Structure 1
Amino acid sequence: MELWYKPKFVNQIFENEEIHGYEDLKVTIYFASNSVMYFLRIVFSMKERGATDIDAALAPHIGMALCRTEDEFLKVCEKEFVPKFRDPICSYSQFRIYKMHLDSAKELTEDGTTIK
């Protein structure tokens, strides 16, 4: 039996918008609003040999700003946002817009490394 999950609008990442080899798959990506760090939660009831490697497929598109555990991610979320990158490209009232690439996350951590 072939197990597959068909997420919408991810054809750039997963060919034919399909993830193979999982039963009851749920993929959730949480982004911290105070940084570009994210946490990837993958839940399934069964995984076949040769299943799609979801981490590897997403890595080139999301970058290296991955928190490996939920606890690490929650610690990132608790921190106050202090921009450590260039000036905002736009600001108004209570918000500012910054432009950066997700691979720049290593510059946002206190010790200059990514959280792993």
Structure 2
Amino acid sequence: MSTQEVADKLVGYCRMGQFTDAINTLYDENIVSIEPDGAPMKEVRGLEEVRQKTEHFNSMVEEVHGMTVSDPLVADKFISIAMEMDVTFKGAPRTKMSEICLYKVDNGKIVWEEFFFTPMNPEG
């Protein structure tokens, strides 16, 4: 699969909220996933760890009110998308999250992802 094909499939999954399907279909066994400083899990390695990180995020969410995912920008082996979520986390007020998501593709699979956003401050 080309980088553009991976990008198109990834955006399709994300727009439908099917993040686990994206991981199971598009991610390499040795995926590296990086979050910004202050996020609960800074870096995880391997498909199972990424699945666990996704489950942990989902367990913190009380309700998703809406989500938008940009069209992908593709250059060489890299994909960039912007994502916004209108979400209520358990025990927190409704908030809007905005992030830039970067991915690297090798041999038709996502081998690296990094997310850029401002983590929520638990003290408000």
TM-score by length of 2: 0.26
TM-score by length of 1: 0.27
- Structure with a larger share of its residues in strand: 2
Larger Rg: 1
- Structure with a larger share of its residues in helix: 2
